[in-house]
Structure 1
Amino acid sequence: MWKDLKLFFEDHAADVRWQCHRDVSSGHGRLDIRVTTCSPDLRDYLAQDWCGIGQVFCLERTSIQKGTPTNREVHYGITSLAPTQADAERIGTLHRAHWAIENRLHRRRDVTFKEDASQIRTKHAPAMLAVLHNTMLACMNVLGVKNVASQRRFYDAHPWDAAHLIFQGF
């Protein structure tokens, strides 16, 4: 499918109904340009292997730092959302929201708790640790903690403060 999508989006001479949206944002010392291109014209071709496809999309992200392009990423995808349900702008927004969740939760869990490197694999222990980690992150969010790793080190060194926080409430 990846090859089909890549070929489809690279054929600029094709008679295809394209819908595009361009988004420019800046932050962290760089300029990010995101171009989302969608089309419903490939759904019949892909329907033999993938039912329910509403449209296909291509997301291109180019990062520019100090006037020089530093990174270019291209992502291809399918969605069950028809063009009437999600235009190119909405597809781009949904894609960014997905990665916001990935960066906010999963990356935080891996960096702070080193879950990907964990050797704990017995019965329900991994699931229970995930629940505890999510609970700790939720508590830190309620408290407005910006640096969870630093706060965790503090409570590791001051367990009575951690106990007081848990049993006395926020």
Structure 2
Amino acid sequence: MIVESEADYVLALKRNHRHLSEDVKDAFTGRYTQFTYSTLDKDHGRVEERIYTAFRPQEVLDESQYESWKNLSSLVQVERLVTFSDGTERRDKQYYLSSLPAEAVERIGTYIRGHWGIENRLHWYLDVTFREDHCRARKAYAAQNLNTIRKLALAIVSQRKDKLSIRKRLFTAALNIDYLKELLKI
């Protein structure tokens, strides 16, 4: 559907594609024509370096290994090295498939980083505003249902453009039926 819409994709390669995931991971040996881009961020008492490496799948994989991925043009590895203020380090790697050419590694890196920014911001709102991490709903689909309701409420409240914070908008809506109606556009 993405390709048919004439759009590009950058998709995280997870372990549920075990064979492809293992082959891509093994391919990052440095023997192939690679394109790299790196960033360095200093924030929250840590230094985080990200090294984005991309190359063409045709150099590494048989076509049969990736034929189900339409327009696959690059395999991407993101290596993160985080150095904390106490001197400890953490290193991890994540792999991606993309329809963008390997030469566009900087743009791919920007998309990957942008996605995590959205995810982190959403989680922060759900945790801080709705205290989602303190929720003890565990039975059946209760946690999943509550998460969906919280995201819907967040989307509705976020559309309102006034000087109140999201938390204050929720509080005001709980106390003022007219404000609630305005939020819901009833």
TM-score, with length taken from structure 2: 0.65
Structural RMSD (CA): 3.5
Paired residue type of 2:60: L
Answer whether contact 2:40 2:49 (CA < 8 A) is retained: yes
Aligned to 2:155: 134
- Alignment of 1:90 with 2:107, yes or no, is yes
Code of the aligned partner of 2:97: I
Q: CA deviation at 1:23?
A: 0.8
**Aligned counterpart, 1:8:** 27
The one of the two structures with greater contact order (alpha-carbon pairs below 8 A, sep at least 6) is 2
Letter in 2 for 1:50: W
Query: Could you say if the C-alpha distance between residues 69 and 128 of structure 1 is closer, same or farther in structure 2, counting changes exceeding 3 Å?
Result: closer
Identity among equivalent pairs (%): 24
User: What residue number does 1:29 align with?
Assistant: 45
**Aligned 8 A contact 1:43 1:54 in 2:** no
Task: Structure 1: state its 5+ residue gaps.
Answer: none
Alignment of 1:76-115 (within 5 A): 76-83=95-102, 87-109=104-126, 112-113=129-130, 114=132
> CA offset at residue 52 of structure 1?
2.1
The corresponding residue for 2:9 is none
Mapped partners of 2:138, 2:155: distance in 1: 16
Q: Is the 8 A contact 1:120 1:126 kept in 2?
A: no
TM-score (norm 1): 0.70
Match of 1:58 among 67, 77, 83: 77
- Cα 1:19–1:145 change in 2 (3 A) is farther
Q: Deviation digits for residues 73-126 of structure 1, max 9, x if unmatched?
A: 210111111235xx221111110011111122255236544398576959xx77
Secondary structure of 2:70's partner?
A: coil
Given candidates 34, 55, 75, the residue that maps to 1:18 is 34
Q: Helix, strand or coil for the counterpart of 1:68?
A: coil
Structure 1 pair 144/37, CA: closer, same or farther in 2 (3 Å)? farther
2:60 is the counterpart of 1:42: yes
Give, in whole Å, the separation in 1 of the partners of 2:170 and 2:180. Answer: 16
Tell me the matched-pair count. Answer: 155
